[in-house]
Structure 1
Amino acid sequence: MLLPFVWMISTSLKSPSEVMAMPPVWIPSEWQWENYQTASEVAPFGRYFINSIIVTILSTIGELLTTILAAYAFSKINFYGKGIVFAVLLGTMMVPGEVLLIPNFVTVSNLGWLDSYEALIIPWIASIFSIFLLRQYFFSVPTELSYAAKVDGCSDFKFLWYVMVPLAKPALITIGLLKVIGSWNAFLWPLIVTNSQELRTLPVGLSAFTTEAGIKYELLMAASTMVILPMLILFFIMQKYIISGVARTGIKG
């Protein structure tokens, strides 16, 4: 599992001759640290970095809001056809994302959102998987707690934000981290809906190292290391919350 990351870092510090050497060179004879500076100058990675942060933060906030509201409705509120609606939503998880690319692109195009932040953010502010995950966590909260809150005059909305959300913090952290990692690494959709450099994200910006003359692997690996490093650090710091959040979603009261 770690071998691709080791190879990526090793290649990012090689000279062009060592990149293509056979047999492969694992440890560069001279570490080419200037590859990182050169890679940062090939494309406006500062702008790409800002775009990735904006898209990641806003899409994560949007998904958390929609997930909280939908999960509470499907777990604690009784309404006609709740089971059928939820089953249909779960069924959409079996549809491959690639199948939805064309209809989603047509929808975004008709709305006039091509090459805009709206196209990068709004289609991804809801996730059936996240709703399912949080719904299972909400089931672990005893229903009697909501009854007691209503007796004290607490509305469903207040009960959700002041009781359920604090109790579900581990699950929300898990959902947020998974969304951050997925949004940060997204490539295909930003590539399709953006045309200008001003709106490209970091994964799309890596295509700048692929030209008709070939691929500059040492610069591509240096840029890839800079793109992946923030998410690796975030994951290693927060992985205990991901594990605890996923583990506790299977507990029902």
Structure 2
Amino acid sequence: MNISRWLLYIFGLLWLVPLLWMTVTAFRPKQIALSPSFSLEFTLANFEKVWEAAPFAQYYLNTVIIVVGVFAVQMVTATMAAFAFARLDFRFKSAVFMLFLVQIMVPADVLIFPNYNVLKDLSLLDTKLGVMMPYFASAFGIFLLRQTFKTLPPELDEAAVMEGYTKWQVLWKIYFPLSRPAYIAFGLVSVSYHWNNFLWPLIVTNSVENRPLTVGLAIFAQSFEIGAQWTEVSAATLLVIVPLLAGFLLFQRQFMNSFIQSGIK
């Protein structure tokens, strides 16, 4: 047990090294950024230059709209599907659920070409809706919520029906509040995935008005004016990842508890 714990500490430290290096570099003056000597000299000039050199405010707005929009639709579709698989009886339920599980094993990149053709036919290329649409349903979210719903006692349904609740009211007034940890975990997974999603937005978007942070960061880092100036690149990268780190640190306990309760390892 002690060996496993020390291995976790070692791997955690290895994961922290590049993050700490990037953070220190982002706050150091350019002339001493790559110097091996220790210095207490720090500055915010790198962040000011980055914010003025690229439209990061627009990139932030685009990313928030995409992430929130995708999660809002996913929460509705995944909740309704999970409730159906957990509590309702219908023909071929097991077969349909297995099809949803198969979708988890299909890499999203495999579907880029057909999804692109569909958006082209719908005239949704270079739009925020075009970036969001392929992710409106989540097989992982359905599986996670189904497992959580199945842990709730069926007697709650019977009591609610005796009180005159419809299935819709049972879902949103009983199952939804009692499954809060699972929703937090699903939200963190969904938000982190779509916040970091790069390839699909890169292919679909062409304008600043629809480009998310990841694509904007890549263009900024490869621009001729920036080149290999590590202080600006580190500052821009820190601007992109700080919201995710803060969210995970804030909800990490609920995140772990939801997977433990759902039986997912």
- The question of a shared fold, defined as TM-score above 0.5 by the shorter chain, is answered with yes
Instruction: Give 2:164's aligned residue.
Output: 153
2: distance between equivalents of 1:25 and 1:106? 51
Structure 2 counterparts to residues 108-119 of structure 1, below 5 A: 108-119=119-130
Alpha-carbon distance change, 175 to 133 in structure 1, aligned in 2, over 3 angstroms: same
Instruction: Give 2:25's aligned residue.
Output: 11
Instruction: Tell me which of 112, 121, 138 is aligned to 1:101.
Output: 112
Instruction: Give 2:246's aligned residue.
Output: 233
Query: Is the 1:174–1:245 Cα contact (8 Å) retained in structure 2?
Result: yes
- After superposition, what is the alpha-carbon deviation per residue over 1:109-166, rounded to whole angstroms, capped at 9, x for unaligned? 1111101111122221221011100000000112232233333332211111111111
Instruction: Give 2:197's aligned residue.
Output: 186
Aligned residues between the structures: 248
Query: Is the 1:137–1:249 Cα contact (8 Å) retained in structure 2?
Result: yes
1:2 aligned counterpart, secondary structure: helix
Instruction: Give 1:224's aligned residue.
Output: 237
Alpha-carbon distance change, 26 to 111 in structure 1, aligned in 2, over 3 angstroms: farther
Query: Is the 1:48–1:201 Cα contact (8 Å) retained in structure 2?
Result: yes
Instruction: Give 1:249's aligned residue.
Output: 262
1:5 aligned counterpart, secondary structure: helix
1: distance between equivalents of 2:193 and 2:98? 25
Instruction: Tell me which of 212, 223, 234 is aligned to 1:211.
Output: 223
2: distance between equivalents of 1:18 and 1:206? 23
User: 172-181 or 206-215, which moves further after superposition?
Assistant: 206-215
Give the superposition deviation at 1:174: 1.4
1: distance between equivalents of 2:164 and 2:252? 39
Which amino acid in 1 is paired with 2:263? G
Instruction: Tell me which of 190, 197, 221 is aligned to 2:208.
Output: 197
- After superposition, what is the alpha-carbon deviation per residue over 1:194-240, rounded to whole angstroms, capped at 9, x for unaligned? 00011111111112221357433221110010111111111111111
Instruction: Tell me which of 183, 186, 191 is aligned to 1:175.
Output: 186
- After superposition, what is the alpha-carbon deviation per residue over 1:68-101, rounded to whole angstroms, capped at 9, x for unaligned? 1010001100000110001011012111222111
Which amino acid in 2 is paired with 1:209? A
1: distance between equivalents of 2:182 and 2:111? 28
Which amino acid in 1 is paired with 2:65? I
Question: Does the alignment pair 1:166 with 2:180?
Answer: no
Alpha-carbon distance change, 28 to 218 in structure 1, aligned in 2, over 3 angstroms: farther
Alpha-carbon distance change, 179 to 145 in structure 1, aligned in 2, over 3 angstroms: same
TM-score, normalising length: structure 2:
0.87
Instruction: Give 1:63's aligned residue.
Output: 74
User: 183-192 or 126-135, which moves further after superposition?
Assistant: 183-192
1:196 aligned counterpart, secondary structure: coil
1: distance between equivalents of 2:44 and 2:189? 32
TM-score, normalising length: structure 1:
0.91
Q: Unpaired segments of 5 or more residues in structure 2?
A: 1-14
Query: Is the 1:10–1:27 Cα contact (8 Å) retained in structure 2?
Result: no
1: distance between equivalents of 2:177 and 2:53? 45
1:160 aligned counterpart, secondary structure: helix
